[in-house]
Amino acid sequence: MVNTPEEKNNSALEQRTRDVFEQHSTSLDAHTLSRLNQARQTALDVVRKKKTVVIPRWLMPAGSVAALALVATMAFQFTRGTTGNSSGPALSQWEDMEIIASNEDIDLLQDVDFYDSLDNVDASASGAG
């Protein structure tokens, strides 16, 4: 149901355009119609010849199993690295990632080598004493 004058004008314009198109398309000569049909068939052949990527059905379950194995391995490595002491290498790596991801105290990251050397000095001092 058309309510506004603008919608009535659009509807009238659409109808007039459709009528003009149909008049012109029925008045085309046989040669033009043949060329249009050949162009259409050529375009359809190109679409038909395109290779579609087909994912084998066995790849979905195999991918799921691989993802599950990866998650299990990561969880095992994480729990193995943190069960003994809380300052183990696995936990410090997670702490480093949290610092980098937090976008806070980025100024400290400018002198990473200095802080790394301090960490090594602390480790050697605690190991010697």
Cα(49)–Cα(43) distance, integer angstroms:
10
Q: Beta-carbon neighbour count of residue 88 at 10 Å?
A: 13
Q: How would you write the pLDDT of the chain (129 residues) with one tens digit per residue?
A: 556 777 777 788 888 888 888 888 788 888 888 898 899 999 988 888 876 777 788 888 888 889 999 998 888 887 776 555 555 555 677 777 776 666 665 666 667 777 778 777 766 766 655
Q: What is the pTM of this model?
A: 0.27
pLDDT score of 77: 83
Query: What is the spatial distance between Cα 128 and Cα 90, in angstroms, rounded to a whole number?
Result: 23
* Phi, psi values for residue 52, rounded to 5°: -95, 145
Q: How far apart are CA 12 and CA 23, in angstroms?
A: 17
Residue 42's alpha-carbon distances to 38, 70, 111, in angstroms, are 6, 48, 64
How far apart, in whole angstroms, are the C-alpha atoms of residue 66 and residue 46? Answer: 37
Secondary structure of residue 28 in the 3-state scheme:
coil
